[in-house]
Amino acid sequence: MRVLHAAAEIFPLAKTGGLADVLGALPQALLEAGADVRVILPGLPAIKNGVERKRLVCEIGAIFGAGKVSLLLGQMPMPGKSPGTSLPVYVIDAPYLYQRAGNPYLALDGSEWPDNLQRFALLGWVAAHLAAGELDADWRPDVLHAHDWHAAMACAYLKVFPASTVATVFTVHNLAYQGLFDEADFHMLGLPARLLTPAGLEFHAQISFMKAGLTYAHRVTTVSPNYATEMATEEFGCGLDGVVRARGRDVSGILNGVDGTVWNPESDAGIAATYSPSALGGKLRCKAALQTSMGLKADPGAQLFAVVSRLTHQKGLDLVLAALPELLAAGGQLAVQGSGDAALEAAFTAAAASHPGRVAVRLGYDEAFAHQMMAGADAVLVPSRFEPCGLTQLYALRYGAVPVVRRVGGLVDTVVDASVQALARDEATGFMFDAATPAALAAALRQTANAYAKPKLWRQLMLRGMAQRFSWGDAAAQYLSLYGEAVQAATAMR
């Protein structure tokens, strides 16, 4: 099976969230399962500089206002992977569109790039033409797997491609981010006008890149089974629930995994001390190191809660601020790493100033320090209003940090609430609450504090969590099965 993944970011070269982690692990897992896998990425500075041994595949020319566009092929650096494992990566070299400061989607001042339509239409266009066999005579995939709205237009371009035989799979990583643009700019896409209808790309007088994937891919997936169900509801469908429902059984959820070569407390060189389920002493040293580095009071008995997250409304972090008095009243500490909404950044900074030694904030995202947060925390807060999968709680479980989560999305698929029954069966791995309210979170925090006061019970929760294995190998097997279905669907539609 030959598979081409199309995406906007990949760990460790360019990362703004969980999408990069998925692209950093899933293609490699598919390779190890025997598939012939390649990835196509935009030539962002970090990607163009990080991909090794690049060579020119072809000159594409001047399209989407980009001036000179070329397609390069190189190798992804893969430290810690199996010997001999190599991931080929295509890079779209379009300096006018991609060689700029900021992240893949936003300028340094936080504003969206005004030409994002062209930037990500180019990604979809090149991915589609590569998949159709027009750009690289030496390799052609059986399946094009597009990730999130940034790559979704590949499905639309292949839909109108003459006699296309390529199967397409589209994965929604977060339905809330849809790639919406003014319908007056539709002419820039080079697509026939028949696609700009409510049954196609039109969405309330806008162009929706997300709809391109949802509508035209042979199979649609998302990153957890529960979120696949939620996407079809008005509450979580972000206005696209009708489109999702219309696809019926073509939509499924495959749970993300954890890359054990990157996230493993037994071998993590970036934490203060390594540890394992049978030797947890290192975690206490990690906690002390985190308290020191964050300026928290050196108190081994204080329950240390961590937040490692984008600071946004979606992540429910306003609930953490509202429930903070409950956390502190129980003797807890709070360490926060993240950035995002200016008001939330200011509020957490003010909370730290008001509670020195009890609350600490580190604005910005630092991948290495995120490992230290997981290793040093007793518990990790993930109070999201919606959460397609969530990787934070998976990392927390792996590092023996008990997750406190809202009962939504992939959090339901990955955390077992510490009910009386689950504790009696030794199945519990964390704490859940239902309503997105400060009172509901505060109640979960009280339950968490009560459990922490019982060392035997807390150790049971830690060990059960650390025993969980969310394997990319399992996910890869499910994707390979889905690719087979997509190929059958594409064949039947010829």
241, 313: one domain: no
Which pLDDT value is given to residue 82?
Answer: 59
21, 170: one domain: yes
* 272 part of a folded domain: no
* 485 part of a folded domain: yes
Q: How many CB atoms lie within 10 A of CB 35?
A: 18
Which pLDDT value is given to residue 492?
Answer: 84
* 447 part of a folded domain: yes
Nearest to 377 by CA among 480, 452, 266, 454: 452
Nearest to 437 by CA among 406, 458, 467, 415: 406
315, 424: one domain: yes
* 216 part of a folded domain: yes
- Spell out, as residue ranges, where the chain has pLDDT lower than 50: none
Which pLDDT value is given to residue 83?
Answer: 56
88, 147: one domain: yes
Which pLDDT value is given to residue 163?
Answer: 66
* 271 part of a folded domain: no
Which pLDDT value is given to residue 304?
Answer: 98
301, 230: one domain: no
Q: Which domain holds residue 373?
A: 281-466
368, 426: one domain: yes
476, 455: one domain: no
Nearest to 450 by CA among 396, 358, 379: 379
* 433 part of a folded domain: yes
Identify the CATH number of the domain in which residue 454 sits: 3.40.50.2000
Which pLDDT value is given to residue 84?
Answer: 60
Ramachandran assignment for 119, one of left (phi > 0), alpha (psi -120 to 50 degrees), beta (any other): alpha
Helix extents (H) in 295-426: 317-329, 342-354, 367-376, 392-398, 409-414, 420-424
The verdict on pTM exceeding 0.75 is yes
Nearest to 24 by CA among 308, 257, 255: 257
446, 484: one domain: no
Find tokens 């929604």 and name the residue.
172
203, 326: one domain: no
211, 331: one domain: no
* 396 part of a folded domain: yes
34, 100: one domain: yes
302, 209: one domain: no
* 462 part of a folded domain: yes
Q: Are 5 and 23 in contact (CB under 8 A)?
A: yes
Instruction: Tell me the residue length of the chain.
Output: 494
Q: Are 224 and 218 in contact (CB under 8 A)?
A: no
Which pLDDT value is given to residue 348?
Answer: 98
Which 8-state DSSP code applies to residue 185?
G
State how many domains the chain has.
2
Which pLDDT value is given to residue 161?
Answer: 84
Q: Are 406 and 419 in contact (CB under 8 A)?
A: no
